[in-house]
Structure 1
Amino acid sequence: MAEAEVRETWGGPELRGLWEGAREALESPKRPDRFGVALPDEATRAAVSAVYGRALHLGHSRIMLAKLDRVVREQAGLDLPRVLEALHGRPVAEPGPTGAETTAADPALAALAAHGLDRAPWAEPWLRWLHQYGRIAEAELPAAAARAAAVLAALDLDPARTPASWVSRADLAAPDAPHELDDGGALSRIVLRAAALAHDVDPPGNARERQALWERCGVVVDAVAGSVLTWALPLTGADAWSRSITERTALALPAQLSHRDLAVAPERLVAPDTAIAVCETPRVLEAAVRAGIRHPLVCLAGPPPPVALELLRRLRADGARLRYHGDFDWPGLALAGSLWSEHGAGPWRMSAADYREALDRAARDRADLPNLVGSPVGSPWDPQLADLMSTAARAVEEETVLPALLADLRDRAL
């Protein structure tokens, strides 16, 4: 936008508080990473929400400077200081020196630069926060910043990308300090603050939010607690680990694989072109075990945990053919779409024709199907499926079509 267009588009009274708050924050010697804005009426709330790219609530909201700068760059092609200069007719004043953080000798900035992170969008607000609120003694700052930068360099900090692989939090810690990233520690606190800025989310306030943020960055907080349920994986290795899994199959016992299992497993798990069935609910796997059907099967048990996604990634890298079946509901379609686009998992009886057949069978058997609730999602592998589901407004749970799934597994018809 030209300056005149900026004033015409964003110069209304509803946005005055937003721009004044942004200028005050940028010119403040404390250089906060966010500021408050009052949203006293619907017109102001709607106008600020439209600029910020997020639905805000009436009353009062917190605005992250880094996000606001990013959205105005995307919409206007100008950074936030230039937008404010166009709106107010004067440049944004540089804040006065506040200490070591403004000097070239800043150890935290040097630590980020050593890993190529000093120009990341989140770097500047994180540095301001670290010096202002990080609660790290000046004498300890060089070592703390160096460790934080090393950990951050190993994280997935791109908010537009889902992690392609996973690492245990314990493996990120220094060998002589295995608990340095545990909850409550200084290093964990400052690393997660940078991760929150990078992913444009609020800093985590409890254990569940901290775990979610770690996982968003490709880190599992516990390498042994989370697991994925598997059955009859045709492992190619002759090592003790592979034999232990194969022996469980011989005993008609599924295997729960943790991140620790995958960490010690051989590099190659299965032969190329191995067909692997992937289901959503454990009932499918249980039925296959009870029926003595030894077709390889991975059960996600709902939204897949990181260890399940890591296993699918490794199987796919081995050249395995993944085929997924789940519930015919909106979460099931969302999961199918994610596995289809990110893990190359083709649909397994997840077409519009399969859904129609399930509806017809339920009508013939006078079986009740639950209502389809939630927000519709697409089915890019078969666009007619989502349309038909919206029209029929009935969900079909995976157990409803269990006989057909077992027949495919028995006949190896995937």
Structure 2
Amino acid sequence: MRETRPADEPALNADTLAFLTRPGLTRLWAAARTRLERNGLQPSGRITLDHLDASEREALSLLLSRRTTGQSATIRLPDLDTHLRASAVGRGLAATLEQLGPPLTDRRAVRDAAAAERAGVWSAARTELETTPLSAQPWTAQWLEETRRGGALARQDPHTATTAVIQAIRTLATLFPGTDPHRNTASWGRGELATAATGSAHGLDDGTLLSRLVLRGIALAHDTEFPLDAPARRALWRTASVTPDEVSSTVLTHGLRPTGGTWREAALRERADHHLETHVTLRELRTLSLEMPPGTRIHVCENPRVVEAAADTGRTAPLVCTSGSATTVVLTLLDTLAAAGCTFAYHGDFDWPGIALANRITQRYDAEPWRMRAADYEYLAIRAQVRDTPTIPLTGPQGEAAWDPELAPTMTAVGIALHEEAALDLLLEDLG
């Protein structure tokens, strides 16, 4: 326990204080203070003073009531504490040092309290994690351990660290509500997500502690490297269906004719009438009214070349292009069209990344496969061989096509990748 002078205990008298504060005892009190503060304010152990001068030897001799003659002296703190109590000082070592000032600090207690606070950060984080779907995902334990060892939170005060890690967990739980990180069910603007997580639209800006924690989680969820520059960070946000801003990312469309009455919808209809493609930003999607004629069928493709060919040949069917990735702006457009009652047909590349993307679109929107079955692949493969068209081998980890259990085995058996351009003439026939 820390020994302090009771409020009614008299201060040291002037003579005693003058004796204790003489220069010959300065090093003794400094060494004793350091040892006590390390010992939890308990007078234990010993201190050694070397290279004593004459004034120090004299002062120690008078204080300890024993002659000190050598160049060094070793003092047991329990003996010093007892001697002070029995002398004119009338109090123990800790109380004496408090009188001489400044106040003692129990550094052991401070360290223990700091350790308890740090442990509290991770206890709160683990508790929060267990309340979210993240607890069932294999990458989250590694994320939490890397976060703990990384040091970014250790440099923060406990309140800031706890707030940041809990906000990161809640944000990641929002982005990954299921066990498959490739099947997110919502898309977000980064400012919108930041507002939901922190109350500020800038809470996930580049350079913030929270953005680093969340990006680390996204990278682990998708088994990819942590981004080291701004373009890589934007790309990683998009893999989690988060658009870093609302104007730089667009979705490519052709033939959309919404029935809304503002100039925005009229502009889309006019471009469709002139067979012009349109790049729509997320910001525009916030203001467009995309009501469509009942039962409108939207064709969705993977490659911009399909849109280009549809525009060149005057095709009229509504067409949306993913450009090889279901980014936030793509999903936002498709979500809006789905809410308006549209139905979807999907075509993409016959390779394993193409199958993964097709799974995501077909399952999210109950889209029909558009010339994407095993028979379609076999036909295109045979046609490529007959025409002696150069082909590329099918590589990478195999995936299963959710809409056709025969497609993946057929692709594996034939062993070639067929990109969307291989079926371009067939797709254009379907676009009217």
* TM-score, shorter chain, exceeding 0.5: yes
One-letter amino acid of the structure 2 residue matched with residue 163 of structure 1:
N
Following the alignment from structure 1 to structure 2, what is the Cα–Cα distance between the partners of residues 119 and 131? 24
Match of 2:363 among 322, 341, 344: 341
Larger Rg: 2
Over residues 41-63 of structure 1, what are the superposed CA-to-partner deviations in whole Å (9 max), with x where a residue is unaligned? xxxxxxxxxxxxxxxxxxxxxxx
Return closer, same or farther for 1:151/1:258 CA change in 2, 3 Å cut-off.
Answer: farther
Match of 1:152 in 2: 171
* Residues 12-31 of structure 1 aligned to structure 2 (within 5 Å): none
Following the alignment from structure 2 to structure 1, what is the Cα–Cα distance between the partners of residues 288 and 166? 29
Asked if structure 1 preserves the Cα contact closer than 8 Å seen for 2:393 and 2:416, the reply is yes
* Residues 27-176 of structure 1 aligned to structure 2 (within 5 Å): 98-101=115-118, 109=124, 119-120=131-132, 121=135, 125=144, 129=148, 133-134=152-153, 137-138=156-157, 141=160, 145=164, 148=167, 152=171, 155-158=174-177, 160-161=179-180, 162-173=183-194
* Residues 6-405 of structure 1 aligned to structure 2 (within 5 Å): 98-101=115-118, 109=124, 119-120=131-132, 121=135, 125=144, 129=148, 133-134=152-153, 137-138=156-157, 141=160, 145=164, 148=167, 152=171, 155-158=174-177, 160-161=179-180, 162-173=183-194, 178-192=201-215, 205-207=228-230, 210-211=233-234, 214-215=237-238, 217-266=240-289, 268-405=290-427
Following the alignment from structure 1 to structure 2, what is the Cα–Cα distance between the partners of residues 148 and 321? 37
3-state secondary structure, aligned to 2:300: strand
Following the alignment from structure 2 to structure 1, what is the Cα–Cα distance between the partners of residues 382 and 172? 54
RMSD over aligned Cα, in angstroms? 4.0
3-state secondary structure, aligned to 1:294: coil
Asked if structure 2 preserves the Cα contact closer than 8 Å seen for 1:109 and 1:118, the reply is no
1:258 to partner: Cα distance: 1.8
1:181 to partner: Cα distance: 2.3
1:240 to partner: Cα distance: 2.8
Following the alignment from structure 2 to structure 1, what is the Cα–Cα distance between the partners of residues 218 and 412? 38
One-letter amino acid of the structure 2 residue matched with residue 288 of structure 1:
A
Following the alignment from structure 1 to structure 2, what is the Cα–Cα distance between the partners of residues 222 and 306? 10
Match of 2:108 in 1: none
TM-score normalised to structure 2 length: 0.59
One-letter amino acid of the structure 2 residue matched with residue 152 of structure 1:
T
Size of the alignment, in residue pairs? 310
3-state secondary structure, aligned to 1:298: strand
3-state secondary structure, aligned to 1:155: helix
Asked if structure 2 preserves the Cα contact closer than 8 Å seen for 1:158 and 1:199, the reply is no
Match of 1:71 in 2: none
Over residues 171-206 of structure 1, what are the superposed CA-to-partner deviations in whole Å (9 max), with x where a residue is unaligned? 344599654422112343355467678889886554
Asked if structure 2 preserves the Cα contact closer than 8 Å seen for 1:275 and 1:320, the reply is yes
Over residues 260-283 of structure 1, what are the superposed CA-to-partner deviations in whole Å (9 max), with x where a residue is unaligned? 1222223x5324421111112111
Match of 1:67 in 2: none
Aligned residues with identical type, % of pairs:
35
Return closer, same or farther for 1:294/1:211 CA change in 2, 3 Å cut-off.
Answer: same
Following the alignment from structure 1 to structure 2, what is the Cα–Cα distance between the partners of residues 397 and 99? 58
Asked if structure 1 preserves the Cα contact closer than 8 Å seen for 2:239 and 2:327, the reply is no
3-state secondary structure, aligned to 2:406: helix
1:231 to partner: Cα distance: 0.4
3-state secondary structure, aligned to 2:280: strand
Following the alignment from structure 1 to structure 2, what is the Cα–Cα distance between the partners of residues 342 and 130? 37
1:101 to partner: Cα distance: 4.5
1:235 to partner: Cα distance: 1.1
Following the alignment from structure 1 to structure 2, what is the Cα–Cα distance between the partners of residues 145 and 319? 40
One-letter amino acid of the structure 1 residue matched with residue 357 of structure 2:
L
Asked if structure 2 preserves the Cα contact closer than 8 Å seen for 1:281 and 1:326, the reply is yes
Following the alignment from structure 1 to structure 2, what is the Cα–Cα distance between the partners of residues 236 and 125? 49
Return closer, same or farther for 1:237/1:154 CA change in 2, 3 Å cut-off.
Answer: farther
Return closer, same or farther for 1:165/1:339 CA change in 2, 3 Å cut-off.
Answer: same
Following the alignment from structure 2 to structure 1, what is the Cα–Cα distance between the partners of residues 154 and 366? 45
